[in-house]
Chains A and B, each alone.
Chain A
Amino acid sequence: MQITTTHPQPEVAHSLDLVGRFDAFEVPSFDDIIASLPSETGQTIAVDLSQVEFIDSAALASLVRVMKRQREAGGDLILRKPSDPVRVIFELTKLNAAFTIED
């Protein structure tokens, strides 16, 4: 999986674009990048999932951890443009209601 961090936008402190398969093999890299981001109280992180082909339980758990951490600090995790299979997986697991998802 490729992970690209992009320039901050007005509404988000950090934006990450993920490409490929997001599974247990890739979670450590994703977690490392998230941990390396400068953190400030109340910041929001956006993750673009439009190029993610498949997501597994480990990846979903990682996203839940990031969401909880950001919300506890007064910010949020925004998931942007999930691909069809990723959107369907969020729906089947009913986690679409828990995340902030933007199209």
Chain B
Amino acid sequence: MSTNARSSETRSSETLSLYREWVASPITDPPVYSVVIPAYNESERVVFTIGAIATHVSGLGQPWELIVSDDGSTDGTVGLVEDLGLPNLRVVSDGINRGKGAAVRQGMLAARGDYILFADADQSTPITQFELLLEPLLHGAAVSIGSRAADGATVANKSGLRTALTKGLNLLVRSAIGLPYLDTQCGFKMFTRSAVHDLFGRQLIDRFSFDLEVLFLADRLGLDVAEIPVEWIDAPGSTVSPAKVALEFLRDIAQIRVWAAQGRYDTIHNKTRSGSEERKTLADHNYSSSA
């Protein structure tokens, strides 16, 4: 066995050991990291994503929690996640389908970590990119956003339609709302807890364009935002409808400007939760069990 192979095997053994501790008992210290997975009808993918995230983040050796923020799934996603019985995995849900923006907000406000990541359920940005986003936060930034367009990003399997949509949206964003980012929509963003309070406490949009609203707010509040090139793979089974998203964007850009002019963003209206609204029993909702 080569030296590299041996050190890799040792790392692997440590990671697996840390994962086994994480699944065996609740963490006793407050979490340093929280990872939030927004989920709507993700019964085919969510367990795989949980496995990948749990392995990698446990391997970092800090107390952490995983939150699946359900958006009113009807395919048994909630039951599937709860049946895993992982002590540091929470499901938050009120059983109503509102949109990704609402699901992310719900999960972010329930998170207790010092550094809070939301990551799409399809693992299109692999969780191995976690440390890339963490680094700027450790050096003073408030927000790190994964970017598929920044120099150094790698993008695989992306369809021509989705490429065109992303470029169009980013052009629209930069010209219509004055944000400097090359990619506002990557579903892999990390925040300090304070930034979560300031941003998701004000965020109002329940749909896909919530990213844009959050970055608009960060810009207004003068928060330091780092745009980090990431690896991105267009995962099969995307639930995003490009035409619908484009129309929502146009409407929401106008809405953000109106709300800003009306002072709707001047105060915090969504409170950080202690977890009291977590789902306790599956029987509270009529979810399908056809996972």
Give the B-binding residues of A (Cβ under 8 A): 21, 23-25, 53-58, 60, 83-85, 87-89, 91-93
Interface contact A89-B52, CB-CB below 8 Å? yes
Residues of B near A24 (CB, < 8 A) are 236-237
B45 within 8 Å of A (CB atoms): yes
5 A-B pairs in the complex with CB atoms less than 8 angstroms apart: A53-B126, A57-B45, A84-B15, A87-B16, A88-B52
Report how far A67 CA is from B56 CA in the complex, Å: 28
B249 within 8 Å of A (CB atoms): no
Shortest A49–chain B CB gap in Å is 12
Report how far A25 CA is from B234 CA in the complex, Å: 9
Interface contact B59-A84, CB-CB below 8 Å? yes
Interface string of B42-73 (1 = CB under 8 A from A): 00110110111011100100000000000000
Interface contact B51-A85, CB-CB below 8 Å? yes
Interface string of B119-130 (1 = CB under 8 A from A): 000010010100
Shortest A5–chain B CB gap in Å is 21
Question: A84-B15, A84-B59 are contacts. A89–B236 as well, Cβ < 8 Å?
Answer: no
Report how far A62 CA is from B45 CA in the complex, Å: 15
Interface contact A92-B84, CB-CB below 8 Å? yes
Number of A-B contacts (CB under 8 A): 54
Interface contact B51-A88, CB-CB below 8 Å? yes
B233 within 8 Å of A (CB atoms): yes
B175 within 8 Å of A (CB atoms): no
> Which residues of B12-38 are within 8 A (CB) of A?
12, 15-16, 19
Shortest B34–chain A CB gap in Å is 19
Interface contact B123-A54, CB-CB below 8 Å? yes
Which of B16, B50, B233 is in CB contact (< 8 Å) with A21? B233
Question: A53-B126, A57-B45, A92-B50 are contacts. A85–B236 as well, Cβ < 8 Å?
Answer: no
Q: Sort A-B residue pairs by CB-CB distance and give the 9 closest, nearest first.
A: A24-B236, A89-B51, A85-B55, A88-B51, A85-B52, A88-B55, A84-B55, A92-B51, A84-B15
Residues of B near A54 (CB, < 8 A) are 48, 52, 123, 126
Report how far A45 CA is from B116 CA in the complex, Å: 43
Shortest B228–chain A CB gap in Å is 19
Shortest B3–chain A CB gap in Å is 17
Residues of B near A92 (CB, < 8 A) are 47, 50-51, 84
